[in-house]
Amino acid sequence: MPMNVLIMDDSTTMRKIVRKTLRQPGLELGDVHEAGDGYEGLHVIASQPIDVILSDINMPNMNGIEFLEKLSELKLQRPVAIVMITTEGTDDLVQGAMDRGAGGYVKKPFTPQDVQKAIGAAVRKARAAS
């Protein structure tokens, strides 16, 4: 079943790289949406059915951790798999994202296989939690 994806990163270039990475064999994609920060991401989620979120942590206005906190307050009708893709890699930050609902974590720079593996783990975690 195709997955609708939301890519959140304040860098247009990084969103393009992630989008291209998703076009690799092995992922069945539906619609792919983009947002430059957590506020834009919340707007997309309110108007589109999203299955997978790939989010940076460091973004202006609302960062990835703040986004996870706001997202947890919403009563979503479907499970959403969340993967953090970021340059940040401290154990505390990774654990904080996982504690707030992220199901996977990929550090930049990444390979397509890193992203696919993290999406698979996050989808399994989201389905198990629903």
Instruction: Look at strands 52-55 and 29-35 and give their pairing.
Output: unpaired
**44-77 per-position pLDDT tens digit:** 999 999 999 999 999 999 999 999 999 988 878 7
5 band by pLDDT with thresholds 50, 70 and 90: very high
pLDDT at 15: 96
More confident residue, 29 or 76: 29
Q: How confident is the model at residue 93 (pLDDT cuts 50, 70, 90)?
A: confident
Mean pLDDT, the chain, rounded, equals 91
Q: Which fold has domain 3-129?
A: Rossmann fold (3.40.50)
> Do 7 and 34 form a contact (C-beta atoms < 8 A)?
yes
Q: Domain map of the chain by residue range? A: 3-129
Give the pLDDT of residue 86.
Answer: 86
User: Does pLDDT of 37 surpass 90?
Assistant: yes
